[in-house]
Amino acid sequence: MRNLAFVGRIWRATLRRRWVSLAAFAFGMAFFHAQVALSYPAIGGIETVQSVVNTFPDGLRTLLRIAPNLQAAFGLQDYLAFSWFHPVFLGLGAAFVVSRATDALAGEIDRGSIYLILSRPLPRWTLVAGKSLEMVLGAACLVAAGWVGMALGVAAAVDEPIPLARYLLIAPMAWGLFSALGAGALVISSVTSRTALAGGLTSAWTLVAFVLDVIPAVAESPLAWLNPWHYYFPQEIVATGQMDWLGLAVLLVWTVAATALAAFLFSRRDLA
């Protein structure tokens, strides 16, 4: 129980120090999703959207996770679902978890503050767990803010009925994706001592994992099951109204396992 109390203290201390950036990221998520909904009437409605999407080659459709076999045509629901796979949305989420993971361990070492933290009688794994908890809960706030922003945008600018509950099924998958990516970045941060190096490697990890998932030879192999991106299909969720519970479970296991590995590596490294 004492160690769990340490985890809670580290989480609260990290949140107090970085709540402004969390609020900024959450506002950015909400603003982006609201703008996607608000832009729908301005661009000419679904006819314009369909005319653009119809020009996409099959390779681009695969890259954007557009699944034409799941719907008769690319409609408004799919247009809104696309915002959950938009580079802005993915970039904000990935930037948040990467920055949090980088600062959590490598950043503390680089600043020298790690020595003050570890001068207290607490196990190193509690530091990793507390930092990971702040990152995971922060990612949840981001995706929740995105859904709220989209709901407000739909209420303000869209006259057609939209099943907003289906987008609530996308949010947990997005949260699982960002959490898994952040946990993977935390492993890198646990074995590095420089903020710049950790930031570069963790960013590369996120990008390489995405690229591997769009390469057919890799995406269709058993190795794809190890890639967090493999389980994230917002278009499919909206089209079917069903969430991949097994995929979410895998992402959560990924997050827990990677965090445990980061704690193991960090507990046994030399900080001198």
Compute the distance between CA of residue 80 and CA of residue 34 in angstroms, rounded to an integer: 10
Q: Is residue 272 part of a domain?
A: no
What are the C-alpha distances in Å from 67 to residues 48, 72, 76, 240, 248?
19, 10, 14, 11, 20
Q: For residues 92 and 182, is the Cβ–Cβ distance under 8 A? A: no
Q: Which two tokens stand for residue 270?
A: 């030399």
Compute the distance between CA of residue 135 and CA of residue 182 in angstroms, rounded to an integer: 7
pLDDT tens-digit readout, 8-32? 889 999 999 999 999 999 999 999 9
pLDDT tens-digit readout, 100-150? 999 999 999 988 888 888 888 888 899 999 999 999 999 999 999 999 999
Angle at 125 between CA 123 and CA 131, to 5 degrees: 120
Q: Is residue 10 part of a domain?
A: yes
Query: What Rg, from alpha-carbon coordinates, does the chain have?
Result: 20
Q: Is residue 122 part of a domain?
A: yes
DSSP-derived secondary structure letter, 86: S
pTM summary value:
0.88
Q: Is residue 96 part of a domain?
A: yes
Q: What is the tally of structural domains in the chain?
A: 1
Range of the domain at 197: 2-267
